[in-house]
Structure 1
Amino acid sequence: MTLLLAGFGLLLLWWLGRNALRRSPARTARLLRRIGGYGALAAAGLVLVRGRPELGVILVLAGLWLLEGGTGLRRRWRAFTNWVRGRGRLQADVHSRPAGGREDAEPDADPRPRRPADPGTMTQEQAYEILGLERGASLERVRMAHRTLMKRLHPDQGGTAEQAARVNAARDRLTNRHR
């Protein structure tokens, strides 16, 4: 594999020397720097994967220097150090905030009730009336009437949460009687 890569590299250099160097030496130099820079970055990745971080850092710096020159390398170093300093400020800011959550949090723009309103207490007569049953109906009739009404009055089917809560409360009132 190494011999194959070396042969490919020699073939590439021969082609560059024969064709590209004759046409534009400056363009060929830029191309060689770019190829060398990307090659150094690829080699750095391989070296880092193999567990040699000191050699990997040297190859990364060499690749960046070939790709961007000395000024680009200084610019990247400044950006990195500013990023490190900014992270330190951020951590200090987070740890210096008072406990108790976000004091600047905005309330919910549309505060909906989290559950249906409490239908309140109801008598057995009211429960029978809501379910449309006669007094003394069996447990099966109560369950069937509840199911039929909920198919029509459920909020997902076009009903309201208050209607569904009243039907559920009526069922609970009547099924508790049978326990």
Structure 2
Amino acid sequence: MSVFLGLLAGLTVIAALFVVFVRTDAQSLANGLRLAGPVVAGVAGVVLMLLGRAGLGGMLISGALAWFASVRRATRATKSPSRRSTVRTAALEMELDHDTGALEGIVLAGRYEGSILTRMSEADLLGIYAELASDGESRQLLETYLDGRFPAWREDLKADAGHGKGIPPGSGAMTKEEAYKVLGLESGATPADVRKAHRRLMQRLHPDIGGSPFLAARINEAKDVLLSDHN
């Protein structure tokens, strides 16, 4: 009877693994295969215990649990990095983290060239803002950053209530290379990937939900550039 129960348990687990294999997508399947070793060892341990080999079965189960924990740690450690979009103007370059919505940037020209925005004070950032009086596009991008980090900066600057809300003309036609960076995609992404990235970013950055008009305009432009050959 114990032999029969052991075989039945093993066959049940194998059947369950087969069902999971058939129904699982490629990424989840890859992660699952890493866990196959510990699962098999654990099943073998259970079968041995049912067959009266408690010592050996217990060792296998303990080893399987340790193996499983090791695989889980390795999976978390190798988690893919978050996707990012890059927007560049004459004086600034910004990166948007798709997962958190956080903006990071660097100054490309002027007195503060090479400075990282996250390391700068509000006073320094307003100094850059003053320098960009003749660069509407860079100024709009900096306004987006300031709005996120220092929500009251306009009041501090005593700016006009409607100042900077419009979308200034771009510095020129966006290239496909720039468009891929804006949407956080690799060169050669499919139209479906372009639409998916555009939809995901607009859900976070659309002006109607408090997002940035400037970034929303760049995201729309990037989608139009990349889909121009498919319309």
Q: Normalising by structure 2, report the TM-score.
A: 0.28
Greater helix proportion: 1
Q: Normalising by structure 1, report the TM-score.
A: 0.35
Greater strand proportion: 2
